[in-house]
Amino acid sequence: MQQHGILIVAKPPGLTSAQVTNRIKRLGQRKIGHAGTLDPMATGVLVVLLGHGTKLAEHLNTGTKVYRGVLRLGLTTDTYDREGSVTSEAPWQHIEPDSVRRLILSWTELTEQEVPPVSAAKHGGKPGYLLVRQGITPPAKTKPITVFSAQVLRVDLPRVEFRVTCSTGTYVRSLAHSLGMRLGCGAVLEELEREACHPFTLDQALSLEEILAAGDDLGRLVIPLAEALPHWPRLIATEAQASMVRQGQMLPAGMFPGVTAAPGDKALMLDSSGAALALMQAKIHGKTVVWRVLRGLW
């Protein structure tokens, strides 16, 4: 039976994000997706979208991410992580732990980063990883990022454990690679765990085994659409208002006095039974602020 909502999965290592969703799809989930891809070696929070939950993808993939990682000094690879082909090796024994600490803390000063050659980033319409497979080196490409915080958890050279809170789309393996280049000895990302994908955290996640074992009882594990955006304000619609929304009509913000409605604000509308109805956005219409349907959830 097709479910509508989301699953917070603790992704195991060795599987792509698509392989995780494909396994869950076999439980009768015709429409399925995920928000925020994790590399195969990475573990941690993967938000899987079911049914109408796929309509939430862009809104669940924009939140802050928290990662715990381990980098290793002394080598570089073509993928910037331990799974790639080694491209260089260099001594690291002369590196001072404090030098590594300072560089990790300086990540918060970054405004952009280099995109790894082996990535899904497009170059002339083709993803970088495909060009590399064809023997073509993708042109250098950068992207804007924000690292809100960076912590050094443990230094046991050549390995360093750290935690970063960053904007969506940040390549943590690029952070490791650039650190290695600045130290002059190279570095690769050896471990990566996503601890949070705002607003969800790892302690909410279910193992893939637990999900697959649920079988026809999958519904009891699914977070319903009404709870999938806990950080969004709620608009409770009457039956008449719900009917108007289903017809694509705008509703004056004054109908919902308990919710602030500045142009651009977003809210989740629920019907009188508490079921998710639509994603709404406030806008100016004439001289009035109204709520318009951003995405229907039916």
Q: What are the catalytic residues?
A: 39
Q: Is 278 exposed, middle or buried (0-12, 13-18, 19+ CB in 10 A)?
A: buried
- 120 vs 290: CA distance, rounded Å: 39
Written as one string, the DSSP assignment of the chain is: ----EEEEEEEPTT--HHHHHHHHHTTT-SSEEEES---TT-EEEEEEEEGGGGGGHHHHSSS-EEEEEEEEESEEETTSBTTS-EEEE---TT--HHHHHHHHHGGGG-SEEEPPSSSS-EETTEEHHHHHHTT-PPPP-EEE--EEEEEEEEEETTEEEEEEEE-TT--HHHHHHHHHHHHTS-EEEEEEEEEEETTEEGGG-EEHHHHHHHGGGGGGGPEEGGGS-TTS-EEEPPHHHHHHHHTT--EEGGG-TTS---TT-EEEEE-TTS-EEEEEEEEEETTEEEEEEEEE--
Gyration radius from the chain CA atoms: 22
Question: What's the maximum distance between 2 C-alpha atoms anywhere in the chain?
Answer: 72
